Each structure stands twice: as C-alpha cells, then as structure tokens.
Amino acid sequence: MVSCSLPCVACPSIAWIPFQKSCYALLQGSSEVYGMDDARELCRGNASGADIITINSKDENTFIQNNFHSNWHGPEYISLGMFFDTDDDIFKWYDDSKVNFTNWIEEESNYELLNTCATMHTASGEWKKVSCEHLPLTKILCEASETAWTSIIVVISTITVAISAAFLWFLYQRKISSRPRCSIHNSITQIPCDNETFFIDEVEYSA
C-alpha cells in the first residue's frame, strides 16, 4: 500500500503513486508506441495534464528508483522526457521545465549528441544517453503534476455544482407549479393559493 504524509496529492486513480507535488504511473506500452510523441500521448490519454517523466531532484530520482524495486516491475531501462537541443547545445525536458538535476552514468566524452535522448537504469537510478530512435518503450513512466490535475478537479467540481444547482431549481419550480389551486365561489376562474381562506373586496375565497 502506498502512503504519503499529509497533505497528500490528489492523484488521478489508485494506479498513480503520489510523491511531493506529482503523481506517477508506469503504463504498459503498445505496438502503436513508436517514439517519444506516442509515449507522451499515451500518458496524456491516461490522465489529463500527464506527460512522460521528468526528474528535477535527487529525491525524486531516488523515489523512482525505489518504486522500481518495490512497486513497479519494469524493464531494465525506461525513457526519460529529455532530449539534446542542438540549437542551444544543451539537454532539455520535453515539457519545457528547467533542467535542475542530472544523474548521468560516466561515459566517453566524445559521445555523439545529435538526435540524442535519455534513459534511466531502473536498478541504479543512473541516466544514460541513447539515440532517440532506440528508446525503450515497452513500459512508459508518466507523471501528472498537482497543478495540472488539480485544475481538472476544479473544472469537474464546478460542472457538478452547476448541474446540482440546475436540478434543485427544477425541483423547486416543479413544486411551485404543483401547489393546490383555489376557486372563486360561483366562478370558473382559478388562482394559485395556499391551503388558507382569504378575502378580496369582501368576497370570500377558500381552498
């Protein structure tokens, strides 16, 4: 069972594991997942606002590594949402967040970075550079940030409240229209009234 210290993050479902301000889920890839764009779409299809994993701290990296030992029984390597931008000559996250942390395994300094992406070794937590055309996509680690998912919850809650208010108004109007009606003595004219006797111009009306 996954637990968290209060306040817990509201995750999309029990398949997602909370940590700090995000939720994480390891999803099964499919024959239709050919590259990074497909992997990101798989994440978005399982939770609004979700994307392929980004890692922004040592604690987050350790959390993911530990979950592969205890909860996720995944492949040897998973793809990270990172690529090398040849225009700026730096690694970037696909979700445009700032790169605050890296955990590269020691490699040769002359590694060709053109069309390069990143993977994580699930046992050690170390990162490895690979060709973007050879990413491991049998399983995809997705992340849904608290901000993105909370926005969805707010929208759903707002719609629910609006529907409830409309339904209550309908019931109220229905109750008003079904109130007992009273008749003027010796007349076919009817007017709505409560179950009370009242007088207009000294002519008695009764329910």
| pLDDT, tens only, 124-179 | 999 999 999 999 999 999 999 875 445 444 445 566 666 877 777 667 677 777 66
Query: What's the distance, CA 74 to chain centroid?
Result: 22
Q: What is the pLDDT of residue 8?
A: 59
Spatial strand order of the sheet with 139-145 comes to 17-19, 22-28, 139-145, 50-52
Q: Please give the pLDDT value at position 109.
A: 60
The pLDDT confidence band at residue 6, using thresholds 50, 70 and 90, is very low
Ordered by start, the domain boundaries in the chain are 17-146, 148-177
Three-state SS for 188-202 is: CCEEECCCCCEEECC
* Distance separating alpha carbons of residues 18 and 145, to the nearest angstrom: 10
Average pLDDT (94-98) is 93
Please, which pLDDT band fits residue 193 given cuts at 50, 70 and 90? low
pLDDT of residue 112: 78
Calculate mean pLDDT across residues 178-197.
52
With cut-offs at 50, 70 and 90, classify the pLDDT of residue 205: very low
More confident site: 103 or 198:
103
Q: What is the CATH superfamily name and number for domain 17-146?
A: Mannose-Binding Protein A, subunit A (3.10.100.10)
Q: How confident is the model at residue 165, as a pLDDT? A: 72
pTM of the prediction?
A: 0.67
**23-43 pLDDT per residue, tens:** 999 999 888 899 999 999 999
Question: Hey, what are 190's tokens?
Answer: 């009817």
- Average of pLDDT values for 188-194? 50
Task: Using pLDDT thresholds of 50, 70 and 90, give the confidence band for residue 102.
Answer: very high
